Amino acid sequence: MDDTDELTRDRTRAEPHVPAGETAVGTAAAGETAEERKRRLRRRLERLIGIAATEGNSLVRLRNGDEIFPAMLESIRTAEHTVDMMTFVYWRGEIAREFAHTMAERARAGVRVRLLLDGFGSRLIEKDLLELMDDAGVRVAWFRRPLWISPMKQNHRCHRKVLVVDEEVAYTGGVGIAEEWCGDARNEGEWRDTHVRVRGPAVDGIAAAFAQNWAECSDVLFDERDRFVEHEPQGDAVVQVVRGSAGFGWQDMQTLLRVVLETARERVRLATAYFAPDPYFVELLCATARRGVEVEILLPGPHTDQRVCQLAGQNFYEDLLACGVRILHYQPTMMHAKIVTVDGVASLVGSTNLNRRSLDHDEEVMLVVLDEDFTARLDRDFDDDVRHSVRIRGVRWRRRPLAQRLKEAAVLPVRRFL
């Protein structure tokens, strides 16, 4: 018997929300094709978020720095017209220097290169790299530098990671420009992360994420280098690009996760670097599990750069475990990927974490990919990560030391900022 069984018996909860016309997992899903599942999810997201998905896209999953950085740098090196890049983190190290020198070289060659840095997340960038890029003609802009903006905007950051080259190839995911992301997650100095290379009509949605933030920081939104190319089909994947905005109130990222969880029939798998949701999303995860959906959450274990955020999320472990949610702690290094897979037919990948900061405060971008092959690739990665993880067991978690409980309680007052 699973350790969560006795907790489940001890708790009485409201019945989960099931959208009208549907029943719980099993009966409704029986005989349903993958195309029908994709069509249902697509129409719900298009209707409730108001962003059309596009056909004809190709995507390549890039796992860890050893695959991600060479692909991004090669695209920049071969750019002929434009390079648009934005990132939350641009820190120090050899990889930071390589990106700066590569962008500077293309700018000197006549390519229009724009770099948008978050004013808080990229504050550690080496000043000589900024001078190098500026001298070469790279147009560097800062998103909401803390000393230059009103207090109301201080907490709303640009967490998007975007690279668009020649309007034809784009990259997004969880990776920042720093040594921490180099390597292949072989030890605690090499973070685990996932990025995606995209070709096809979805490139426009990723480019729009850049343009939306660039418009706040620059008087020139486009120029003669922008060709506004027509996209030919590059593959078979259907992709919706969802952008979360830094502001107040309900955001598209919250709608995205709610629709995905309420639509899932068999399995939802989430990998996130920072897990500190509000009680609403905790109950949504529980409701999903209670109606028979297998829910797995993969989180950082002993290696995390945000221990306070980790403690905030652990406040909810007991409730989640009692509902049958499976929680795993990744052991080798920092788990920084932001991935969701749904029923083997759909996946989400981008910059959004399952924490209050991503869902309530920050600029984010997420790809919704309706494609079985791409989702299977991410599920295989998830399986591999699970093999390097420790499962949190319900009974054992309830017996955790008092000191651990006190630490969890101590972070509650600041949870909404995490």
Q: For tokens 């995209």, what's the residue?
A: 198
Same domain for 168 and 263: no
Residues with Cβ < 8 Å from 323, sequence gap 6 or more? 4, 8, 13, 285, 286, 289, 290
Q: Is the pLDDT of residue 252 over 80?
A: yes
Centroid of chain to Cα 61: 13
Q: In the structure, what pLDDT confidence band is assigned to residue 46 with cuts at 50, 70 and 90?
A: very high
Average pLDDT of 392-412? 79
Environment class of 392 (CB within 10 Å of its CB; exposed 0-12, middle 13-18, buried 19+) = buried
Model's pTM, two decimal places?
Answer: 0.90
Q: How confident is the model at residue 96 (pLDDT cuts 50, 70, 90)?
A: very high
Residues 352-373: pLDDT tens digits?
Answer: 999 877 887 789 999 999 999 9
- % of the chain at pLDDT higher than 70: 88
Tell me: the pLDDT tens digits for 154-209? 667 889 999 999 999 999 999 999 999 999 999 999 999 999 999 999 999 999 99
Q: Are residues 184 and 82 in the same domain?
A: yes
Check residue 27 and give its pLDDT.
Answer: 39
pLDDT at 5 over 60: no
Question: Which band of pLDDT confidence, cut at 50, 70 and 90, is reported for residue 312?
Answer: confident
Confidence band, pLDDT 50/70/90 cuts, at residue 14: very low
Q: How many domains does the chain have?
A: 2
Q: How confident is the model at residue 153 (pLDDT cuts 50, 70, 90)?
A: low
Question: What's the pLDDT at 405?
Answer: 75
What CATH number does residue 330 fall under?
3.30.870.10
What digits encode the pLDDT tens for the residues 233-249? 999 999 999 998 755 55
Q: Are residues 171 and 37 in the same domain?
A: no
Q: Residue 341 pLDDT > 70, yes or no? A: yes
Q: Are the beta carbons of 400 and 392 closer than 8 angstroms? A: no
| Domain range enclosing 373 | 5-55+238-417
The reply to whether 291 and 410 lie within a common domain is yes
339 has which bridge partners?
271, 349
Q: Which 8-state DSSP code applies to residue 263?
A: H
Burial of residue 83, with CB atoms counted within 10 A of its CB: 0-12 exposed, 13-18 middle, 19 or more buried:
buried
Do 267 and 343 touch, CB atoms closer than 8 A?
yes
Which domain-ending residue is among 206, 235, 264? 235
Q: Is the pLDDT of residue 139 over 60?
A: yes
Q: What is the pLDDT of residue 415?
A: 65
Long-range contacts of 69-75 (CB under 8 A, 24+ apart): 69/95, 69/98, 69/175, 69/181, 69/182, 71/171, 71/195, 71/197, 72/99, 72/163, 72/171, 72/195, 73/98, 73/99, 73/102, 75/163, 75/165, 75/169, 75/171, 75/197
Last residue of a domain, one of 186, 213, 235: 235
Which letter does DSSP use for residue 233 in this model? P
What region does 141 belong to: left with phi over 0, alpha with psi -120 to 50, or beta? Answer: beta
Q: Which of 161, 193, 202 is nearest to 303 (CA)?
A: 193
Q: What is the pLDDT of residue 245?
A: 75
Mean pLDDT of 298-307: 94
pLDDT reported for residue 401: 77
Average the pLDDT over 13-31 and give the result: 46
pLDDT at 22 over 50: no
Same domain, 42 and 122: no
- Asked whether residue 172 falls in the same domain as residue 210, the answer is yes
Domain boundary among 201, 235, 269: 235
In this prediction, residue 255 carries a pLDDT of 93
User: Which pLDDT band holds residue 8 (cuts at 50, 70, 90)?
Assistant: very low
Q: Residues 38, 182: one domain? A: no
pLDDT computed for residue 192 by the predictor? 98
- Same-domain pairing of 141 and 271: no
Pair (211, 126) in one structural domain = yes
Same domain, 144 and 242: no
Least confident span in 250-254, 310-314, 340-344, 346-350: 250-254
Q: What is the pLDDT of residue 32?
A: 86
pLDDT at 20 > cutoff 60: no
117 and 51 in a single domain? The answer is no
Return the SS3 of 371.
coil
Residue 357: the pLDDT is 75
pLDDT grade for 374, boundaries at 50, 70 and 90: very high
Over 60: is that where the pLDDT of 418 sits?
no
Average pLDDT (375-397) is 95
Task: Report percent pLDDT > 90 for the chain.
Answer: 74
In the prediction, which pLDDT does 163 show? 98
Asked if the model's pLDDT at residue 111 lies above 60, the reply is yes
Q: Across 14-18, 38-42, 310-314, which has the greatest mean pLDDT?
A: 38-42
- Under 8 Å between Cβ of 193 and 364: no
Q: Is 418 exposed, middle or buried (0-12, 13-18, 19+ CB in 10 A)?
A: buried
Same domain, 264 and 401: yes
Residue 148 has pLDDT above 70, yes or no: no
What pLDDT sits at residue 157?
A: 83
Of residues 75, 225, 61, the one with CA closest to residue 165 = 75
